Amino acid sequence: MIATLRAIGFDNRLGLRLVIASLIVGSVLSVLSTSAQLGASYFRQRTDATLVLSRIEDTLASPLEQAVWTFNFDQVDVILDGLAADPNIAFVELQSSTGQSWTRGDPDEQAATPDDQRVYELVHKLDNNRSELVGVLDVRLSLDAVRARVWAEFWTTFLTNLAKAYIAAIALLFLVGHMVSRHLRKIADHVDNTNADNTNALRLDRAGSEKTDDLDRIVDAIDRFECRTREQMDALGNEIIDRKQAEAEARQALSIRSQFLATMSHEIRTPLNAIMGFLHLIATYKDIDDKPRVYAETATKASHQLMSLMNNSLDMSRIEADAVEIKMTPTDIHSLAKDWHQSAEGMRHMRDKNIKITLDVARDLPPLINMDASHVTQIVSNLVDNAIKFTDAGEVDIAIKNATSDGNPAIDIRVSDTGNGIPEDARARIFERFTQADSGMLRAHGGSGLGLAICSELARLMGATLTLDDRIRDGFTTVFLLRLENVALVDLPT
Ligand SMILES: Nc1ncnc2c1ncn2[C@@H]1O[C@H](COP(=O)(O)OP(=O)(O)OP(=O)(O)O)[C@@H](O)[C@H]1O
Ligand SMILES: [Mg+2]
C-alpha cells in the first residue's frame, strides 16, 4: 500500500504542497466562477418572472374584465388557472365588484412575503365614455422556486468542478512526483554521498524528450561544481603536502640552529667563566693600583652582561627546540620566597642600588604548593632583576598571594617597583623578543631584550600567565603579575 502510494507520489511533499495549493486555488476559483455564473442566471430568471407581471396588464386584464362583466365564470377560472400555472406566481386573487371572489395558491405560504406584487383594477368601458370597476386582480410573485433551482445548480456545478480539481490534483501529484521530485531526491542523495572517493558524475533517469530543461541545467551545474571542487581539493592537497614539507624543513633548520646556538653558548660560557673568575681575582687583588682595578671592574661588568646574554640565548633556543621540561613538585613556597628575597638583595648589591627590597607572603598559603620551582624562580629573578635595574630610588616588592577562587587553586606572584615605569605605548610589546621600552635603556642598562620573552614563554609552558598589571597600587610604578593556575595547594599531613 505504502509502496503504491509512493509510486503515485503520495510521499512527495513538494507535490503534496502543490496539490493542496492548487486545490485551495481551484476551490476558490470554482466558488467564484460558479457564483458569478449562477448569479447572472438568477437575475435573468428574476427579470423574466417580473416581465410576466408586466404582461398581465396587456394580455390578461382585458379578457378577464370581459369574462367578469359577462358573468362568464368558467372563462374566469380558465384565465386564472393559466395565470397560476406559471411557477413563479405564488398567489392570485380576483374580487369582483359584485362580491364574487376567486383565489389560486396559498396566501399564507410564499405569497405572504412576495418578491413582487401587482394589483390591477379591471374596468369596463361603457358607451357614453364612462367606465365601471368590475373587479380587482391581486397577483403575487415568489422567486423561491427560482432560488431553489439556482442553489441546486450551484451545488451541482461546484461539486463537479471540485471533483475535476481533485482529479487534476492527483494527476498533478503523480506528474510532479514522476517528473520533478524523484529527480530532486536523486540529486540530494548524490550531493549527500559525494566525497573524495565517490567521483561518479550525476545522471538522472529521464527519457530523452524530457531533456534540456531546468533539471538538466541543475545537473550540469552540479557536475561542473564537483569538477571544480575536485580540482581545488587536489590543489589544496598538494599545497598542504608542500607546506608540511616546508614546515618540516623549517623545524629541522630551527632545531639545527638551536643546537648550534646551544653548543656555541656552552663553548663560550666555559672560557667566559674563566675570564670572569680571573677578572674578579684581579679586581680584588690587594697590591693593584686604582686604575687597573677600575679597568678590571669594568671588564667584570661587561663579562656579566655577556654571560647574561649567553644564558638568555641558551634559554630561548631551548624553548624553540621544545627542550624545556616542566617538572611539578611539592614546593615549600615560604622558604622559596625567602631565597628569592636573598638573591634579590644580592642583585641589588651587584647593581649597587640604594633601594629597599621587601617580601610579603600571604599567611593563608598552604605550606606546600605543587609547581615547577626552578622555572618559577627563573621568571621571578628575571622580573626582580628588571625591577632593580630600572629603579634608582624607592623599593622593589615581591608579594605572594593565594588567588584561589571557585575551588580553582591559584597563586599570584607580584613583583612591583617604584622605578621610572613603562611608557603606555611600550606596554604591549615588551613581552616580544629583543624589545626594550626605549632604546636609551640599552645604552644605560645593557640587556638583550630577551628576558620577558623567555619569562612569558616559560609561563605559557607551565600553564601560567605573566602580565603587566594595570592596577598600580601603593606608589608602585610597574607591577608584573605571574598567576600560577591550577596549582594543587598541598597541605602537610597532620
Ligand atoms: N620593572 C621595569 N621597569 C621599567 N621598564 C621595564 C621593567 N621591566 C621591563 N621593562 C622594560 O621592558 C623591556 C624588556 O625587558 P626584558 O627583561 O625583556 O629585556 P631587558 O631587561 O632589556 O634585557 P635582558 O632581560 O635580556 O637582559 C626592558 O628593556 C624595559 O624597557
Ligand atoms: Mg630583563
pLDDT at 109: 62
Residues 335 and 461 in one domain: yes
Which residue out of 347, 382, 386 has the highest number of ligand 1 atoms within 8 Å of its CB and is therefore the one to mutate?
386
Is 384 in contact with 398 (CB distance < 8 Å)?
yes
Say if 190 falls within a structural domain.
no
Q: Is the pLDDT confidence value at 237 over 90?
A: yes
User: Any idea what the CATH number is for the domain that residue 412 is in?
Assistant: 3.30.565.10
Calculate what percentage of the chain has a pLDDT beyond 90: 35
Residue 449 CA to ligand 1 centre (angstroms)? 6
User: Which ligand has the shortest distance to the CA of 431?
Assistant: 1
164, 189, 223 - which closes a domain: 164
Residue 448 CA to ligand 1 centre (angstroms)? 9
Residues 286 and 139 in one domain: no
pLDDT at 116: 86
Distances, alpha carbon 134 to alpha carbons 54, 55, 64, 306, 480, in Å: 20, 20, 10, 149, 130
d(CA 31, CA 159): 10
Average per-residue pLDDT for the chain: 86
User: Which ligand has the shortest distance to the CA of 308?
Assistant: 1
Ligand 1 pocket, CB under 6 A: 308, 312, 386-387, 390, 417, 419-420, 422, 430, 435-437, 441, 447-453, 478
pLDDT at 358: 97
pLDDT at 319: 87
273, 306, 323 - which closes a domain: 323
- Which ligand 1 atom sits closest to the C-alpha of 438? 31
- Taking only the tens place, the pLDDT of each residue in 187-208 is 888 888 877 676 777 888 877 6
User: Any idea what the CATH number is for the domain that residue 273 is in?
Assistant: 1.10.287
pLDDT at 208: 64
pLDDT at 8: 53
pLDDT at 211: 56
pLDDT at 246: 96
Q: What is the mean pLDDT of residues 404-420?
A: 91
Least confident of 138-142, 341-345, 469-473: 469-473
Which residue out of 265, 308, 452 has the highest number of ligand 1 atoms within 8 Å of its CB and is therefore the one to mutate?
452
d(CA 205, CA 15): 19
Ligand 1, atom 9, residue with closest C-alpha: 386
Residues 481 and 374 in one domain: yes
| Start-end of H helices in 107-213 | 144-176, 182-193
Structure-model confidence comparison of residues 430 and 9, the more confident one:
430
Calculate what percentage of the chain has a pLDDT beyond 70: 91
d(CA 359, CA 334): 10
Least confident of 301-315, 329-343, 411-425: 301-315
Residue 410 CA to ligand 2 centre (angstroms)? 25
Q: What is the mean pLDDT of residues 335-344?
A: 95
Q: SS in 3 state form for 255-275?
A: HHHHHHHHHHHHHHHHHHHHH
Residue 425 CA to ligand 2 centre (angstroms)? 18
Residue 256 CA to ligand 2 centre (angstroms)? 27
- Taking only the tens place, the pLDDT of each residue in 87-136 is 888 899 999 998 999 999 877 765 567 888 889 999 988 878 888 999 99
pLDDT at 88: 86
- Taking only the tens place, the pLDDT of each residue in 71-83 is 999 999 999 999 8
Residues 298 and 392 in one domain: no
Ligand 1, atom 17, residue with closest C-alpha: 451
| Residue 445's pLDDT band (cuts 50, 70, 90) | low
User: Which ligand has the shortest distance to the CA of 418?
Assistant: 1
Which domain covers residue 366, as residue numbers?
325-490
- Please tell me the pTM assigned to this model: 0.54
Which of 9-18, 50-59, 256-265: highest mean pLDDT?
50-59
Residues 378 and 480 in one domain: yes
Q: What is the mean pLDDT of residues 328-355?
A: 93
Name the nearest CA neighbour of 328 among 196, 211, 142, 487. Answer: 487
pLDDT at 19: 79
Residues 113 and 227 in one domain: no
Residue 166 CA to ligand 1 centre (angstroms)? 86
Q: Is the pLDDT confidence value at 468 over 60?
A: yes
